[in-house]
Amino acid sequence: MTAAVLMLDLAGTELSANEARLLAEEGVGGLILFSRNFESPVQLRRLIVTVRALAPNILIAVDHEGGRVQRFRQGFTLLPAMGVLAQRYARAPEAALAEALELGWLMAAELLDVGIDISFAPVLDLDYGRSRVIGDRAFGGDGATVSALAGAFVCGMAEAGMAATGKHFPGHGWAEADSHLEIPTDERDLATIEQQDMQPFVRLIDAGLAGVMPAHVIYSAVDPSPAGFSRYWLQQVLRMQLGFKGVIFSDDLSMEGAGFAGGYAARAARALEAGCDMLLVCNHPEGAQEVLDYLRAHPRVPSLAIAALRGDRRAIDQQRQVRAQALAAELRAL
């Protein structure tokens, strides 16, 4: 049996015949949605119902952090970039923590209501003012602030019924390059990374973080492979040293930062060997097919933790709807 470890994407707002065929394949275990898949909440619900009719147990995900990384907008609350919370935390920490919790709840509640299981959030990277791709996506520039605010955000997600995925382990904030376009390098030593960037991961893993996504970054003083293809980072550090027992998602294997490993079959092999439980292949149907072919030829036992990530998709009751409306109104007033 082929383990359902591939997470792929769709071209538009409706399923094509080929996409329907792929979703029914044994090797496909996840679907990630983008802005191009969205017209309205009604259309999105209809698409998700169609997907689940073909693949009832599929894990449906989205990048919906707030700020510039929010895939669905019309009909959803426009969430601020999480960096805003860091500024408030410096002035009024208790109020900022309460806002972080409510934002985590609101984000999760709105997504669960349309049938989505998880958002790949929160970002646990530190904002050093260097990374073009992280910036105000981060909850702050130091480990204590990010740990506190992201921890509150995760509590809000859990209260709504959604598991959290911390990214990008062990920290993408120092590397300047965008791993979508090139392979970033972080030249700092292990002690510095452990004392600074890894602290939010340590604290949230201790609190029960369900998922982790490693960075397509080479930490050159530690290991020659990007973290997502490194047994050292994923097995020795994440699993053994930090005791993480949840799901490890590869970052998108179609990103330039993943080209280190070769073609798509080679990327899949390297990521699985390193310790990834689910492989993302986005914006490249041919690459997704290559990974699927590789999985057919190399069956493996799937992670049991993947099933635990499926969201509580029960309709939001009236009380939760009132809370969501009130929070959305507060955000509009800011």
* CA 90 to chain centroid: 27
- What does residue 249 show for φ and ψ, rounded to 5 degrees? -95, 130
| pLDDT of the residue at 313 | 61
> Which 3 state secondary structure label does DSSP give 303?
coil
| pLDDT of the residue at 176 | 84
| pLDDT of the residue at 279 | 96
Q: Residue 308 is which amino acid?
A: A
| pLDDT of the residue at 257 | 59
- Residue 10 has which token pair? 């769709």
> Which 3 state secondary structure label does DSSP give 64?
strand
| Predicted confidence (pLDDT) per residue in 308-334, tens digit | 888 776 655 656 667 777 777 777 665
Question: Cβ–Cβ contacts within 10 Å for residue 308, how many?
Answer: 12
Residues annotated as catalytic (active site), given as ranges: 180, 251
| pLDDT of the residue at 103 | 97
- Residue 278 has which token pair? 């689910």
| pLDDT of the residue at 13 | 98
From the list 238, 299, 221, 220, the residue with the least C-alpha distance to 274 is: 238
pLDDT in single tens digits along all 334 residues of the chain = 567 999 999 999 999 999 999 999 999 999 999 999 999 999 999 999 999 999 999 999 999 999 999 999 999 999 999 999 999 999 999 999 999 999 999 999 999 999 999 999 999 999 999 998 999 999 999 999 999 999 999 999 999 999 999 999 999 999 987 666 678 999 999 999 999 999 999 999 999 899 999 998 999 999 999 999 999 999 999 999 999 999 999 988 987 656 676 789 999 999 999 999 999 999 999 999 999 999 999 887 778 788 888 877 665 565 666 777 777 777 766 5
